[in-house]
Amino acid sequence: MDSIEVNFSMQSHTEAKQGVHTYVAQWPISSLAWSMRRDKSPRLAIGSYLEDYTNKVELVHFNCDTFNFSTDPRLVFDHPYAPTNIMFFPSEDDTNPDLIATSGDNLRLWEIHEDHIQLKSPLIGNKVSDHSAITSFDWAVFDTRLIATSSVDTTCTIWDIEREVMKAQLVAHDKEVYDISWGGFNVFASVSGDGSVRVFDLRDKEKSTIIYENPVQDCPLLRLEWNKSDPRFMATVGLDSNKVVILDIRLPTTPFMELSKHRTCVNAMSWSPDFGRHLCSVGDDARAFIWDVMDSRFPSRNGCEVEPVMWYGSPAEINQVRWSPMQVDWIALAFFNNLQLLKV
């Protein structure tokens, strides 16, 4: 296992780190997202984690040449409760509207202007319960009209944001649904408190396929990331688990690979956007690991423990990570009130 000598290196947090750039927010960060638009400088959105009803979402610009961050106080907005997820409109085409979506008590769409951000539409509606928090969502790249949400009330909901209507709602699991991810046209997967990964096809809403169940009895699966560049693979992690499980959907029920170098629980993970062979995972051990899941030299299924190809140590537990979809050599992570960008 190698640390990156320049960009991913272990140093005291009091030292300057070449290739590591930090923005300090005014509040703890719970969620983050990269923008895909090519007509803007690299942008991120960060969401607060405050115990108050009123939380914040802020836009942060990053200059890849000078490595400077810039913000505009007019591009900060209040958010009911801490946002459980944030995503920009998933297209680089600057003719599309400049939108951002957030989840919490409901799914909301916000419109970004030069000098303000305004609520475009709150998407509210549930056939099961009037009090069902949205745990996460995924915005479909293949059809940007569609957003899929997961909820504590056991449902997954597909929204048509262009018409601002509910397209479909499925009772997806036996317990709370904690995460959701599109895998392609009409196909998405979700994870739940029942410990299963289930795949759904909107062409047959009455059926689902269980492709993995947590071997730890009565242990929820909390995170799911379907590899958008190589949809054969998805990654999931369980509650308080130090292990990232890589699944090959062609070989259901048996993990393709298990990544278990974290010392404590894994909090988030993100696939590389270019060829989809790398995954970055972060955890309470203050470590960020980059794994090569296609490296046949380290197949955990043959009894060998998989080693990360790169790693980074932060000053504190890392709770979030996102790989930039446009600037593919940059990774964003969050701990406490710090947004860090790592050049890899």
Is 239 exposed, middle or buried, given 0-12, 13-18 or 19+ CB atoms closer than 10 A? middle
12 vs 186: CA distance, rounded Å? 47
Spell out a b/e string for 87-112, using b for 16 or more CB atoms within 10 Å of the CB, else e: bbbbbeeeeeebbbbbbbbbbbbbeb
Quote the pLDDT of residue 16: 36
Per-residue model confidence as pLDDT tens digits over 151-181: 999 999 999 999 999 999 998 899 999 999 9
Quote the pLDDT of residue 125: 61
Share of the chain above pLDDT 70, in %: 90
For the chain, the distance separating the N- and C-terminal CA atoms, rounded to the nearest angstrom, is 15
Q: Do 49 and 82 meet the contact criterion of CB atoms below 8 Å apart?
A: yes
9 pLDDT more than 60: no
4 pLDDT more than 50: no
Q: Which has more pLDDT, 132 or 30?
A: 30
Quote the pLDDT of residue 172: 86
Per-residue model confidence as pLDDT tens digits over 197-237: 999 999 998 889 999 999 999 999 999 999 999 999 999 99
Quote the pLDDT of residue 206: 84
pLDDT-derived band at 275 (thresholds 50, 70, 90) equals confident
Q: Cβ neighbours of residue 332 under 8 Å, at least 6 residues apart?
A: 32, 34, 44, 321, 322, 323, 324, 339, 340, 341, 342
Quote the pLDDT of residue 165: 93
Quote the pLDDT of residue 335: 98
Spatial CA neighbour of 63 closest among 37, 48, 41: 41
Residue ranges per structural domain of the chain: 26-123
90 pLDDT more than 50: yes
Per-residue model confidence as pLDDT tens digits over 288-332: 999 999 875 555 555 568 899 999 999 999 999 999 999 999 999
234 DSSP β-pair partners? 226, 247
